[in-house]
Amino acid sequence: MASSSQPQRLPTGGRINRSVPLRFTFDGKSFTGYAGDTLAAALLANGIDVIGRSFKYHRPRGIVGHGAEEPNAMVQLGEGADALPALPATQIELFEGLVASSVTGWPSPRFDLAGAVGAFGRLLPPGFYYKTFMWPRKLWRHYEKLISRGAGMGRVHPEPDPGYYDKMNQHCDVLVIGAGPAGLAAARAAMASGARVIIADERSELGGSLLAETSLIDGRPAAEWLETALDELAVSNNLLLLPRTTVFGYGDHNFLTLLERRSDHLGSGGKKYAGRRLHRVRATRVVLATGAIERPLVFANNDRPGVMLTASVSHYINRFGVAPGRRMVLVTTNDHAYRTALDWHRAGRKVVAVVDTRVEAGGALVEEVERKGIKVLRGHAVIEARGRHRVNGALVAPINADGTAVAGPVRKLDCDLIASSGGWSPVIHLSSHTGVRPHWNEEIAGFVPGETGAGMSSAGAAAGTWSLAGCFAEGAAAGKAAAEQAGFSAKDFEPVTPRVNEHPETQQQALFMLPHTRRNSRAPKQFVDMQLDVTAAGIEMASAEGYRSIEHLKRYTALGLGTDQGKLGNINGMAILARSLGQTVPETGTTVFRPPYTPVAMGAIAGRDIDALFDPERYTAMHRWHEGNGAKFENVGQWKRPWYYPGPGESMHEAVNRECLAVRNRVGIMDVSTLGKIDIQGPDAAEFINRIYTNAFLKLAPGKCRYGLMLKEDGMIFDDGVTACLGENHYLMTTTTGGAAAVYAWLERWHQTEWPELDVFLASATDHWATAAVVGPYARKVVEQVCGGIDFSQESFKFMDWRNGTAAGVPARVFRISFSGELSFEINVAAHHGRHLWETLMQAGADYGITPYGTEAMHVLRAEKGYIIAGQDTDGSRTPGDMNMEWVVGWKKAFSFIGRRSLQREDCRRDDRKQFVGLETLEPETVIPEGAQIVSDPNQEVPMDMEGHVTSSYYSATLKRSIALAMVRRGLDRMGDIVYCPLADGRVIAARITGSVFYDPKGERQNA
Amino acid sequence: MLLIACPYCGESRGEEEFSYGGEAHIARPPDPDSLTDEAWGDYLFFRKNTCGVHHEIWFHAAGCRRYFNMSRDTVNQEVLETYRIGGQPRFTTQNSKR
């Protein structure tokens, strides 16, 4: 029978479906569990004690908790590219065929080599990152590899994740986080007013603590009551129920991020669904009903498999029908944990003793436990666990009243389970995300959310209210208030608080660490943060070394830095630091919790914004032609631009040389549709442009174009382009392809914020036009055939003119402008005519050998002419003077154009600024890598005096040599000097400083 | 993520639609050339680092493409008001409840 293979499974009880056995594999061995199990429950049912190995000391570790707090039982779910690394087994739902493996321990968690040798931990004292491994620096990368492999938190598969993720935006009036008693009551109350409610809970089943509750509610078992309550909710149409959904981040203005695990529990059957969905929720009000996490007590060897939280023991019994042991010793500071003794007893297992740290433990729960004949040791503590791979005993001793010292003889109790409870910590992480500082509540010895702003409230155990009746009442009040604050009237709704027969509880003892007969540094290790192996002695050592701030201690010892964010260990760590500093816990303070609450797969954050959907791609009207003609593409901003058009068997270098020579000797054609185009109109358009550009624009006549240079207010070059006067009060400004959006926003800003009085209108026209540049000595011959209504003679259509007419039979604007120094016409037609224009030009140019060319050839051609590319040759710290472009600065303009005043600042007038020059390598075939540094003396000792750097560098087929553009200190005064570029590979390239114009310095060709 | 009410669109929208434009109410000096280097440097480079209510410019980049002003509490991220260019803030660190 299945149960015989599950030795720890109780014969009855739990919310599992025993008629649906499920087979699963853990670390290569096959096991059976039931539908409704978590992987942790199924492993416990099968008696698997050791799930992994610890981070530093490689000690065997087992399951401690039952939810998000689990520090030890991290496993990898699945195999291959869609495996999920490092999930807590307590949060994995069992399905048929589940495959999981331990992420720690080598070769296996039970026989871990490093743990067996025991040598690793001694290398790793607290603060080991800072102490041991910072010296010698060169060895750090080796240490790091060693630590990562030794620690092991799963492996990310090198293949792309085939999983399917998506995102949804949600809006609601009230978001209730947590579907336990407080959360359910809050949702019911909020919905009664008509508010739209979302309720999210990280577990597979809604109900929170009610899933394992043994008290009667309204005279019925809790499970029955829960079922009715959920049925009522399910029929509502203003409620979105999100089980298996973790609220992992709480951002500004009630913007919360939720991760829904939609198909993990379906195994391979779920592959066709979006496996994980990110909900981006904007909520008018948020009710935090996130509950509380039990706090373990710190004692020697408290990390041994078989040491668990009392609440988790009850959870496994009541929810899963699993008793994780035979003989239990329970150690507690409070009444609540006595419920677990009753559960264990009811399960037919032996409670060896309840060890209560309080001398005067009393109250109804204590009495009921004693009535069952269970031994209660008052004023005692478990001071040490015995056993290695599994607890086999507990050392128990009387302690003094404040729990700081052992006060009597030690004895050993035989047991295989130690359940411990040091009280409860409200889950305040999400309120902490918003910057709310936690407040110490003396009564519960824990932090609760402090002063929350409008928009958020907390209820139930999250607010430090433990009793079930209290949680119901507080939740209902919080839900009603939230709906009212969101603008709904809940006047008529009087929440009916269910009657609960629960035992009143007496005051707990504020005790975090149990004493030992030896001092902490000599006692067996007492673990505070199990995931990162932080011990009480380690915290004391850090404190002795001067780490008195909790924030420093956290970084030094790694307390709470694990994937579990110290959900179990943080408060204990703070308490131990407080004690060693002679302070209270609130004086010591707490660290700040940051998102995410639990780890989130990167795929869920990316969603479908990957591959082609990562960023929009922009194509010109001629794109398909380029594709069809073998173009290689280059990304320029979001645009795909033809880079070069390789012929059969042609290398990039050969193709670019061919394209360049075609332009210089015959005719080339380039798609320049991507240049930014801004249409500027209005009576003050000229004045506006005149203020933006460095040079004069007031007198630009219709039919004329002018180059313009744009500075930021700090005097540094921002963008450039040609602006045409289209008519009275009408201009078309072009920008660089990559700068178009920024320039448009820049113009809008000046107009809207500084000069609203200027009567001017701006509109982006980039996508409205398709533009083909026909460039080279035969350009006129080609365009004349294609265009109509334009006189192309040199006398009537001069360089820097533009004309209206037709091209390929459609309306066109033709600009005679040049970025290559050749005779050049840029023909603009409505975008949808773009390909038609292009193909007509190709046909017309066939007799002249018209050659399409891409951005690489364009770069070479413009570099031969010394034309700058803003953003390549400039870098946001170059003035017009630096670029030898004083000619474009209109000092005499009446208006102090943007950037003018800054050009007169002392720093901009320094005579040792770097200046824009050309470089010719002494070996004509050697091309200097772009970005190379320039020095005057290559034999100088390192660090050398850096004299400048290379901004553009190409092989020029026209000049049959390599050319480069560079910024060199005082470069314009150093014509003919030899400088050197020392490269990382050891080569040194020598070059001569020249002017930046290599070809046709008089500019005769473009005027031909 | 902030929720921002654009004073031109009149609707509250997510921060993703907007971009930040730095401190508001810094007028360009009418005659830059008459300023000392120091005074010009102050205009150009020096900004408040406010703990409390900060007046700043935002741009509804993926919306109406209008620039506007915002009073934002830098401590708790509360947006106290948004107002059009040319308007004056009602909230300051002194008169807000903080």
- B91 in any annotated domain: no
Average pLDDT of the segment spanning A106-131: 56
The pLDDT value recorded for residue A80 is 80
The pLDDT value recorded for residue A109 is 66
Mutation for testing the B interface, residue in A253, A256, A280, A746 having most B CBs under 10 Å: A253
Per-residue pLDDT at A134 exceeds 90: no
Question: How far apart, in whole angstroms, are the C-alpha atoms of residue A509 and residue A333?
Answer: 5
Residue of A nearest to B58 (CA): A749
Average pLDDT of the segment spanning A141-153: 54
- Looking at the fold, whether A191 and A284 belong to one and the same domain comes out as yes
Residue with tokens 């005074």: B39
- Count CB-CB contacts under 10 A for residue A206: 25
The pLDDT value recorded for residue B13 is 95
- A635 in any annotated domain: no
Q: Which two tokens stand for residue A637?
A: 């901003």
- Looking at the fold, whether A475 and A575 belong to one and the same domain comes out as no
Per-residue pLDDT at A59 exceeds 80: yes
Check if the beta carbon of residue A850 is closer than 8 Å to that of residue A791. no
For residue B3, give the nearest of A253, A435, A901 by CB distance: A253
- Looking at the fold, whether A439 and A470 belong to one and the same domain comes out as yes
Domain that holds residue A564: 511-600
Mutation for testing the B interface, residue in A280, A747, A752 having most B CBs under 10 Å: A752
The pLDDT value recorded for residue A601 is 86
- Looking at the fold, whether A415 and A431 belong to one and the same domain comes out as no
| CATH classification at residue A440 | 3.50.50.60
For residue A901, give the nearest of B19, B32, B65 by CB distance: B32
* All residues at 6 or more sequence positions from A44 whose CB lies less than 8 Å from its CB, including other chains: A8, A63, A316, A320, A322, A324
- B95 in any annotated domain: no
Per-residue pLDDT at A542 exceeds 60: yes
In whole angstroms, what separates CA A687 from the centre of its chain? 46
Under the banding of pLDDT at 50, 70 and 90, the label for residue A2 is very low
Contact list, B32 vs chain A (CB under 8 Å): 896, 900-901
Whole-angstrom Cα Rg for chain B: 15
The pLDDT value recorded for residue B38 is 96
Residue with tokens 């003035």: A879
Residue of A nearest to B34 (CA): A901
Residue predicted with more confidence, A128 or A1001? A1001
- The domain boundary, picked from A554, A583, A600, lies at A600
| CATH classification at residue A820 | 3.30.1360.120
Per-residue pLDDT at A1002 exceeds 90: yes
CB pairs under 8 A between A and B: 58
Average pLDDT of the segment spanning A328-341: 97
Question: How many domains does one find in chain B?
Answer: 1
In whole angstroms, what separates CA A405 from the centre of its chain? 46
Under the banding of pLDDT at 50, 70 and 90, the label for residue A86 is confident
Nearest to A901 by CA among B76, B97, B37: B37
- Count CB-CB contacts under 10 A for residue A750: 18
For residue B28, give the nearest of A435, A748, A754 by CB distance: A754
The pLDDT value recorded for residue A138 is 58
- The domain boundary, picked from A402, A420, A438, lies at A420
Residue with tokens 């436990």: A369
| Cis previous bond, A107, omega within 30 | yes
Q: What letter represents residue A292's amino acid?
A: A
Q: Return the HEC string of A545-588.
A: CCCCCHHHHHHHHCCCCCCCCCCCCHHHHHHHHHHHHCCCHHHH
Cβ <8 Å between B1 and A252 = yes
- B94 in any annotated domain: no
Phi, psi (degrees; rounded to nearest 5) at A1006: -70, -20
Question: How far apart, in whole angstroms, are the C-alpha atoms of residue B15 and residue A931?
Answer: 37
Question: How far apart, in whole angstroms, are the C-alpha atoms of residue A668 and residue A848?
Answer: 9
* All residues at 6 or more sequence positions from A535 whose CB lies less than 8 Å from its CB, including other chains: A520, A525, A526, A527, A528
* All residues at 6 or more sequence positions from A632 whose CB lies less than 8 Å from its CB, including other chains: A642, A643, A644, A645, A646, A652, A854
- Which residues are bridge partners to A77 per DSSP? A84, A100
Chain A: closest CA distance from residue B41 (Å): 9
Crossing angle for the helix pair A364-371 and A338-346, to the nearest 10 degrees: 30
Question: How far apart, in whole angstroms, are the C-alpha atoms of residue A990 and residue A980?
Answer: 5
| CATH classification at residue A685 | 3.30.70.1400
- A298 in any annotated domain: no
The pLDDT value recorded for residue A272 is 63
Q: Which two tokens stand for residue A100?
A: 């999981």
- A626 in any annotated domain: no
- The domain boundary, picked from A846, A868, A889, lies at A846
Q: What letter represents residue A668's amino acid?
A: G
Residue predicted with more confidence, A233 or A294? A294
- Looking at the fold, whether A548 and A595 belong to one and the same domain comes out as yes
- A430 in any annotated domain: yes
The pLDDT value recorded for residue A1 is 39
Under the banding of pLDDT at 50, 70 and 90, the label for residue A117 is very low
Mutation for testing the B interface, residue in A250, A278, A901, A908 having most B CBs under 10 Å: A901
Question: How far apart, in whole angstroms, are the C-alpha atoms of residue A411 and residue A268?
Answer: 52
Contact list, B21 vs chain A (CB under 8 Å): 749
Per-residue pLDDT at A142 exceeds 70: no
A900 touches chain B (CB under 8 A): yes
Average per-residue pLDDT in chain A? 93
- Looking at the fold, whether A805 and A900 belong to one and the same domain comes out as no
Question: How many domains does one find in chain A?
Answer: 6
Q: What is the DSSP letter of A709?
A: E
The pLDDT value recorded for residue A306 is 97
- B89 in any annotated domain: no
Under the banding of pLDDT at 50, 70 and 90, the label for residue A564 is confident
pLDDT in tens, A409-467: 999 999 999 999 999 999 999 999 998 889 999 999 999 998 777 799 999 999 999 99
A907 touches chain B (CB under 8 A): no
- A535 in any annotated domain: yes
Question: How far apart, in whole angstroms, are the C-alpha atoms of residue A57 and residue A791?
Answer: 87
Question: How far apart, in whole angstroms, are the C-alpha atoms of residue A574 and residue A595?
Answer: 20
The pLDDT value recorded for residue A144 is 56
Crossing angle for the helix pair A570-581 and A550-557, to the nearest 10 degrees: 120
Nearest to A497 by CA among A470, A515, A525, A532: A470
The pLDDT value recorded for residue A78 is 86
- Looking at the fold, whether A568 and A469 belong to one and the same domain comes out as no
Strands A527-529 and A292-294: unpaired
Mutation for testing the A interface, residue in B3, B28, B78 having most A CBs under 10 Å: B28
pLDDT in tens, A838-847: 999 999 999 9
- B34 in any annotated domain: yes
For residue B37, give the nearest of A714, A756, A906 by CB distance: A906
For residue B32, give the nearest of A714, A752, A900 by CB distance: A900
- Looking at the fold, whether A889 and A750 belong to one and the same domain comes out as yes
- Looking at the fold, whether A804 and A711 belong to one and the same domain comes out as no
The pLDDT value recorded for residue A3 is 43
- A504 in any annotated domain: no
Question: How far apart, in whole angstroms, are the C-alpha atoms of residue A671 and residue A772?
Answer: 5
Cβ <8 Å between B32 and A896 = yes
Report percent pLDDT > 90 for chain A: 84
Under the banding of pLDDT at 50, 70 and 90, the label for residue A119 is very low
- Looking at the fold, whether A440 and A517 belong to one and the same domain comes out as no
What is the enclosing helix (H) or strand (E) of A956? strand A948-956
Under the banding of pLDDT at 50, 70 and 90, the label for residue A124 is low
* All residues at 6 or more sequence positions from B54 whose CB lies less than 8 Å from its CB, including other chains: B23, B48, B71, B72, B73, B74
The pLDDT value recorded for residue A562 is 86
- A273 in any annotated domain: yes
Q: Which two tokens stand for residue A213?
A: 């509750």
A279 touches chain B (CB under 8 A): no
Residue predicted with more confidence, A113 or A455? A455
Mutation for testing the A interface, residue in B37, B38, B70 having most A CBs under 10 Å: B37
Contact list, A282 vs chain B (CB under 8 Å): 3, 14
- B53 in any annotated domain: yes
The pLDDT value recorded for residue A645 is 98
Per-residue pLDDT at A122 exceeds 90: no
The pLDDT value recorded for residue A54 is 86
Cβ <8 Å between A749 and B67 = yes
Domain that holds residue B47: 3-84
Question: How far apart, in whole angstroms, are the C-alpha atoms of residue B14 and residue A351?
Answer: 56
- Looking at the fold, whether A185 and A199 belong to one and the same domain comes out as yes
Question: How far apart, in whole angstroms, are the C-alpha atoms of residue B95 and residue B98?
Answer: 8
Q: Which two tokens stand for residue A955?
A: 């092989």
Q: Which two tokens stand for residue A441?
A: 């509540």
- A300 in any annotated domain: no
* All residues at 6 or more sequence positions from A327 whose CB lies less than 8 Å from its CB, including other chains: A349, A350, A352, A414, A415, A416, A417
Average pLDDT of the segment spanning A42-48: 97
- B90 in any annotated domain: no
| CATH classification at residue B33 | 3.30.2270.10
- Looking at the fold, whether A329 and A399 belong to one and the same domain comes out as yes
Distance set, CA A200 to CA A247, A541, A612, B9, B53 (Å): 7, 42, 32, 33, 34
Lowest average pLDDT, out of A206-215, A228-237, A939-948, goes to A228-237
Q: Which two tokens stand for residue A21?
A: 């056995």
For residue B33, give the nearest of A252, A754, A901 by CB distance: A901
- Helix extents (H) in A118-176: 128-131, 140-151
pLDDT in tens, B41-98: 999 999 999 999 999 999 999 999 999 999 999 988 999 999 999 999 999 988 876 5
A714 touches chain B (CB under 8 A): yes
Contact list, A902 vs chain B (CB under 8 Å): 40, 44
Check if the beta carbon of residue A948 is closer than 8 Å to that of residue A971. yes
